[in-house]
């Protein structure tokens, strides 16, 4: 019996020692685990274990329910840094709001222009029919008065129509994505990030004002310039720097030919200079030239349509009068109404205003590429430039080409190569 009791005591002692060892083991592990996950994940214990003080592995589990993946945690070291983060978040919200506003107003104006286009053509054709039937009808006064009112109404509404290509929605959404990407980075937000985002907001507002009123839209600008939706400050900073010689960009090591610096080589610089020359001489020049032609045609039709409708309305007033005026008044009213309908269809049905804005936007795209290439080539310190291989890939994608196709532009950077000898365009995308 004593032997049995001694064996029982020995079993209890070994069990208690094992439990004690199991209790001590998680305590040594839990401390570094909690330290490692204290920034974003925390552990939770069951009520029974917390009350009893047990540290069993089943009581330590990761509590991820409180984590919201939509909230971006931006590290801040001071209250001033937190203020900059809030400013950048406000800019992102404003960019998203601007995108929605431009999208809604753009669609509304498009519907409005389509409705007025068909309404004007219906008014002009109906008035022309009335003017043709008025001389032979007994109610000549009523017909000519109706024709005059319809032609005058069409002349007024034709002058109010305006179209534009709303590229702003895409650019505002791109700005919002860039700002939110900056917030998602591990690096703290600086005042320079806020100023850069604000400059981009102001540049977009200036390039694409909200088209609430026709007076806010520059329908017929005096000079045709590429649309600019990026800030000018960076361009001015790079222009103040002295031009960099291509051989000095890489220091003494560039004379050995195979040297590399931040992905840049002398061959890549020659390639970028050739692309820069072709874009300016061919791509941007083409869109500016065609834009001037479309603007001139749009101006002529914008004046001819209301003028023809007004002249037809004036001629309708003389229908049925005695003398030569009454003889030709009906024919003039019919002809003027038909020509006004044709001018209205070509101008607004062909969306010449939209085509003009589209050409300016394409020219602005190539102008922006030129400034980006100049900014990189104008940086004396190669290490401060954007990575050469990445930049070459971005340029190739923007032009719709492969990186191997860009090598053909090296020879075009030579001063002996004339602009008239450039036959191909740099961009294949548009």
Residues 116-165 pLDDT 10s:
889 999 999 999 999 988 888 777 888 889 999 999 999 988 877 766 66
Q: Mean pLDDT highest for which of 37-41, 155-159, 189-193, 244-248? A: 189-193
Instruction: Give the per-residue pLDDT at 387.
Output: 94
Segment 303-328 mean pLDDT: 87
Segment 398-423 mean pLDDT: 89
Handedness of CA 64, 70, 73, 79 (dihedral sign): negative
The pLDDT tens digits of the residues spanning 221-275 come to: 889 999 999 998 554 444 444 444 443 444 433 433 444 588 999 999 999 999 9
φ, ψ dihedrals at 48, nearest 5°: -65, -40
Domain assignment of residue 400, yes or no: yes
Same-domain pairing of 291 and 375: yes
Same-domain pairing of 191 and 288: no
Instruction: Give the per-residue pLDDT at 143.
Output: 87
Which tokens go with 280? 């300016």
Cα→Cα distances 348→22, 157, 339, 429, Å: 83, 12, 14, 27
Cα→Cα distances 336→135, 306, 325, 342, Å: 17, 10, 15, 10
**154 vs 136: CA distance, rounded Å:** 25
Same-domain pairing of 168 and 306: no
Instruction: Give the per-residue pLDDT at 186.
Output: 77
Domain assignment of residue 26, yes or no: no
Same-domain pairing of 325 and 418: yes
pTM, entire model: 0.72
Last residue of a domain, one of 176, 210, 244: 210
Residue 47 pLDDT more than 70? no
Domain assignment of residue 223, yes or no: no
N residues, the chain: 430
* Number of domain units in the chain: 2
Domain assignment of residue 32, yes or no: no
Residue 349 pLDDT more than 90? no
Domain assignment of residue 12, yes or no: no
135 or 391, greater pLDDT: 391
Same-domain pairing of 286 and 414: yes
φ, ψ dihedrals at 104, nearest 5°: -70, -50
Containing structural domain, residue 338: 265-429
Last residue of a domain, one of 183, 210, 237: 210
Same-domain pairing of 180 and 280: no
Domain assignment of residue 182, yes or no: yes
Domain assignment of residue 320, yes or no: yes
Instruction: Give the per-residue pLDDT at 158.
Output: 84
Same-domain pairing of 355 and 418: yes
Same-domain pairing of 299 and 424: yes
Instruction: Give the per-residue pLDDT at 324.
Output: 75
Same-domain pairing of 100 and 202: yes
**15 vs 273: CA distance, rounded Å:** 81
Last residue of a domain, one of 210, 229, 253: 210
Residue 169 pLDDT more than 60? yes
Same-domain pairing of 169 and 272: no
Domain assignment of residue 308, yes or no: yes
Which tokens go with 174? 């791109």
Pick from 335, 326, 268: which is nearest to 128 by CA?
335
Provide the mean pLDDT of the chain.
Answer: 78
Query: Which residues are paired to 63 by β-bridges?
Result: 42
Q: Which of 62-71, 87-96, 246-255, 386-395 has the lowest mean pLDDT?
A: 246-255
Same-domain pairing of 184 and 275: no
């Amino acid at each position: 019996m004593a032997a049995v009791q001694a064996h029982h005591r020995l079993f209890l002692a070994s069990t208690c020692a094992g439990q004690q060892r199991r209790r001590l083991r998680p305590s040594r592990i839990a401390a570094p685990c909690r330290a490692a996950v204290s920034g974003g994940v925390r552990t939770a214990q069951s009520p029974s274990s917390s009350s009893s003080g047990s540290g069993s592995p089943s009581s330590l589990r990761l509590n991820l329910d409180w984590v919201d993946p939509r909230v971006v945690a931006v590290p801040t070291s001071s209250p001033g840094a937190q203020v900059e983060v809030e400013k950048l978040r406000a800019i992102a919200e404003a960019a998203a709001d601007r995108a929605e506003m431009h999208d809604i107003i753009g669609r509304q104006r498009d519907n409005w222009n389509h409705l007025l286009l068909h309404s004007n053509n219906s008014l002009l054709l109906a008035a022309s029919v009335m003017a043709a039937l008025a001389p032979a009808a007994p109610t000549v006064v009523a017909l000519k008065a109706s024709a005059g009112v319809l032609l005058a109404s069409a002349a007024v509404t034709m002058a109010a129509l305006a179209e534009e290509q709303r590229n702003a929605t895409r650019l505002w959404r791109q700005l919002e994505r860039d700002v939110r990407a900056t917030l998602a980075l591990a690096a703290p937000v600086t005042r320079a990030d806020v100023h850069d985002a604000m400059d981009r907001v102001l540049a977009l507002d200036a390039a694409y004002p909200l088209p609430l009123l026709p007076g806010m839209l520059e329908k017929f600008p005096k000079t045709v310039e590429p649309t600019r939706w990026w800030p000018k400050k960076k361009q001015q900073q790079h222009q103040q720097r002295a031009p960099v010689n291509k051989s000095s960009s890489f220091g003494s090591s560039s004379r050995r030919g195979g040297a590399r610096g931040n992905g840049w080589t002398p061959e890549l610089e020659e390639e970028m200079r050739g692309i820069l020359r072709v874009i300016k001489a061919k791509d941007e020049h083409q869109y500016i030239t065609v834009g001037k032609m479309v603007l001139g045609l749009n101006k002529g039709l914008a004046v001819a349509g209301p003028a023809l409708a007004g002249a037809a309305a004036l001629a309708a007033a003389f229908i049925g009068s005695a003398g030569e005026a009454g003889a030709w008044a009906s024919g003039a009213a019919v002809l003027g109404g038909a020509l006004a309908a044709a001018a209205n269809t070509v101008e607004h049905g062909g969306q010449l205003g939209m085509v003009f804005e589209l050409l300016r936007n394409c020219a602005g795209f190539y102008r922006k590429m030129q400034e980006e290439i100049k900014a990189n080539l104008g940086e004396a310190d190669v290490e401060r430039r954007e990575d050469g291989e990445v930049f070459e890939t971005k340029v190739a994608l923007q032009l719709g080409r492969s990186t191997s196709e860009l090598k053909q532009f090296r020879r075009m950077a030579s001063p002996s190569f004339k602009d008239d000898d450039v036959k191909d365009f740099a961009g294949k995308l548009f």
